[in-house]
Amino acid sequence: MKVDLKSLSPAYRLIYYSLGTAFINPHINSEEIVDRLLIANYSPPVVASQVLNSSAEKLIELYPDNPAFGSPFNTENETFGLSPFFKQAAAIGTISWSMLSTIV
């Protein structure tokens, strides 16, 4: 079912764009753990391991550990007492969730 984001209230849009935070361990404290988490969530891979590894590296590059770019979005540099890597992993999780919900 495709989600029409324009039809959602601002509160629901915030929840939708912050879904990644619900599925991420709050104790993530390094980019290496974010990388391992990505690999583990897509294992066994349906593509060659080299492709999976390079895809994980690209996602980490596109979603840096800068808190301003992390999820929950539009919260600037606020980390809520957690590591910037948590917001990085949550952003990757949120975009993955958003992509899947548009496919189904």
pLDDT digits (tens, 9 = 90+) for 4-13: 656 666 655 5
For the record, the structure tokens of 90 come out as: 């949550």
Domain of residue 18 covers 5-103
Q: Quick one: which of 37, 24, 34, 100 has its CA closest to 63?
A: 34
- pLDDT tens string 48-97: 989 989 988 998 998 899 999 888 888 889 888 889 998 898 888 876 65
Q: How is residue 42 annotated by DSSP?
A: T
- Number of structural domains, the chain? 1
3-class secondary structure, 69: helix
Q: Quick one: which of 79, 70, 81, 85 has its CA closest to 29?
A: 85
For the record, the structure tokens of 24 come out as: 């991420």
Whether 84 and 63 have beta carbons less than 8 Å apart is answered as no
